[in-house]
Amino acid sequence: MAAALALAVLSAPAVAEDARRVTQIGGVEYVGFDAVCQRHALGGLEKLSGRTTSGHPQEVPVFSPVGFSGGAVALERDDYFRLAGPAGRLVFRVDSRQFFFNDARHWLSFPLRKAEEGGLVISRIDAEALLDVLLRGRGAVAGRKFEGVVIDAGHGGSNRGAVGRNGVAEKTATLATARELKRMLEAAGVSVAMTRASDRYVDLDARGHFANRYKNHLFVSIHYNMGRSTSHGVETYALTPQGAASTGADGKPSRRDQVRYPGNEFGAESLLLADMVQRELCEHHSPEGDRGVKWARFEVLRDTRMPAILVEAGFLSHPVDAALIATEGYRTKVAAAVARGVSKFMGMMGAEPGAPAGAQLAATPPVPGGTMIPNPQPHEIPSAESMTRTPTHATGKTLNR
């Protein structure tokens, strides 16, 4: 690094207890950011310029160091800064929920803030359930081996899900992607079960109950998205930790945050799985296409007693994304990316902490009763969300697989 760059190191707090002191801000417990940095040997704080070029609302700024001294105390609102440690690099922005871990986008539940005395503080739940897990990796999770995957193709039957203006219905795109993912995983020797293998409706709670019959499995729910015409790209969800706010809550705490669900038992594993899958999905997207790893309390994530993620693999409301989703080639890329992320996670979990992750995947005998939910319900009342986001002219076009 050029000698002209001015580096500042996060100063150690005079008293360790001061760094761990809990502060209430807007009903949220915050702790000293210095304590997190010390715990994970993060230092070399650099203030960054965050130059944008396209004006796209999802654009990742081009970061470059700027001359700077004074450490964290000298940072102002909206300043970007970078830290580095044994686990890699992190970029934060003061008073923002967005951050980057080894160049991949993530979201805090609550904004990183500057305390009245000048130092930085971070919510305790973000420090414990997010940063500690990402920075410790395999060392943050119990020694569990996973040998199979339950694939959940979103929507189905009378619930078309989102429908693009090109007539492609989410339910058909998710099923086509799920079938391809199943083929790829089984070719690698992974046991696979599907919540649905045809165009039929399955209750959300039935999907979770079905998945829970499979021990030592992961749960992957495949979806395609709907939003503003400028929204595009991919995002991967894990279950919101108890005490945290979901990403869609814009950093606002609620009573629901305190509820603990069965899926929270596997929160750390789900986060690491989501991170690995999201990184693979972003390999074939534009710079704005990484919408990040996010938190949500979707029913299929709440009720599954296993690591569980929900993938939103593109926007049917975006002209470019919708055209891609209609093609077999794109859906194959999505399936391949998810398969790579799943394989990397399973390899990591099969290794001892600190050991290289192996690629060998063991097959698991199927559970008696087949690989689909029995006795599917024949009818469904579409949700208010699906009704309002589905154009009246949409046809639910059948895809080529």
* Mean pLDDT across 302-321: 96
Supply the DSSP string of 346-361, one letter for each residue.
Answer: HHHHTSPTTSPPP---
Q: Where in the chain is the domain with CATH 3.40.630.40?
A: 144-388
Residue identified by tokens 């929507």 is 155
pLDDT at 330: 96
**Domain at 16-139, CATH from 3.40.190.10, 3.30.457.10, 3.40.50.300, 3.40.47.10:** 3.30.457.10
Domain with CATH 3.30.457.10 in the chain: 16-139
Does residue 18 surpass a pLDDT of 60?
no
What is the sign, positive or negative, of the torsion defined by CA atoms of 9, 12, 13, 18? positive
CA angle 299, 304, 307 (to 5 degrees): 115
CATH code linked to domain 144-388? 3.40.630.40
Amino acid in the structure at residue 186: E
| Average pLDDT of every residue of the chain | 84
How far apart CA 343 and CA 280 sit, in angstroms, is: 11
Say whether 312 is catalytic. yes
> How much is the average pLDDT of 26-45?
95
**pLDDT confidence of residue 285:** 75
**Active-site annotation holder among 312, 328, 352, 385:** 312
pLDDT above 60 for 83? yes
Spatial strand order of the sheet with 98-101 comes to 62-65, 43-51, 80-85, 88-93, 98-101, 104-107, 290-296, 234-239, 308-315, 217-225, 148-153, 191-194
Question: Given a cut of 50, is residue 284 above it in pLDDT?
Answer: yes
What average pLDDT does the segment 59-81 reach?
A: 89
Number of C-beta neighbours around residue 328 at 10 A: 13
The whole-number pLDDT of residue 399 equals: 53
What would the pLDDT profile of 221-274 be if each residue is shown by its tens digit?
Answer: 999 999 988 899 999 999 999 999 999 999 999 999 999 999 999 999 999 999
Per-residue confidence (pLDDT) for residue 26, from 0 to 100: 92
Q: Is the pLDDT of residue 208 over 80?
A: yes
Rounded mean pLDDT of 121-150? Answer: 95
pLDDT score at 117: 82
